[in-house]
């Protein structure tokens, strides 16, 4: 049976996809290229990886507060994450997920490093759950 973890759901919706995991925060403004969806922050653990369609699992948001609109831009270009899972969501990612309709869950009953990049996850924003499908 698939393993399921519970946290607090902040933005409703269902997202399924392969995980992209880091214990660092992500700056969606200036840290992620808005035309390609690729993490461009120099030295970031996910540098060079694309967030499009992934379940982005990270500590929180960071950097410029314009990051909310960056999530909306990514979404309009079809490059948004399928869902976001945070250790502790901040206002930038949370407002951005509302604008871009990206499911968002935080404060899971497990450490986010439970997940590995390329795990297939299912996030339910309304229920606040994250399930490892495989």
- Is residue 91 at the binding interface for other proteins, with CB under 8 A as the rule? yes
- Is residue 110 at the binding interface for other proteins, with CB under 8 A as the rule? no
- Is residue 127 at the binding interface for other proteins, with CB under 8 A as the rule? no
5 forms bridges with which residues in the sheet?
130
- Is residue 11 at the binding interface for other proteins, with CB under 8 A as the rule? yes
Nearest distance from C-beta of residue 56 to other proteins, angstroms: 16
> From the candidates 18, 23, 60, 64, which is the catalytic residue?
64
- Is residue 22 at the binding interface for other proteins, with CB under 8 A as the rule? no
Nearest distance from C-beta of residue 70 to other proteins, angstroms: 7
Q: SS3 for the chain, per residue?
A: CCEEEECEEEECCEEEEEEEECCCCECCCCCECCCCCEECCCCCCCCCCECCCCEEEECCECCCCCHHHHHHHHHHCCCCCCEEEECCCCHHHHHHHHHHCCCEEECCCCCHHHCCCCCEEEEECCCCEEEECC
Number of residues forming the site for other proteins (CB under 8 A)? 31
Footprint on this chain of other proteins (rule: CB under 8 A):
8, 10-11, 29-30, 34, 62, 64-70, 72-73, 75-76, 88-92, 94-99, 104, 106
Give the catalytic positions in this structure: 64
């Amino acid at each position: 049976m698939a393993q399921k973890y519970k946290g607090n759901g902040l933005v409703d919706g269902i997202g399924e996809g392969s995980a992209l995991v880091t214990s660092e925060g992500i700056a969606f403004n200036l840290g992620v290229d808005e035309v390609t969806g690729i993490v461009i922050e120099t030295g970031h653990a996910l540098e060079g990886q694309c967030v499009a369609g992934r379940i982005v699992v990270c500590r929180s948001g960071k950097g410029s507060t314009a990051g909310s609109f960056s999530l909306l831009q990514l979404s309009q270009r079809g490059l948004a994450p399928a869902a976001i899972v945070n250790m502790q969501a901040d206002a930038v990612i949370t407002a951005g997920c509302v604008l871009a309709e990206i499911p968002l869950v935080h404060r899971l009953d497990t450490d986010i490093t439970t997940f590995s990049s390329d795990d297939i996850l299912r996030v339910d924003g309304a229920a606040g759950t994250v399930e490892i499908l495989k």
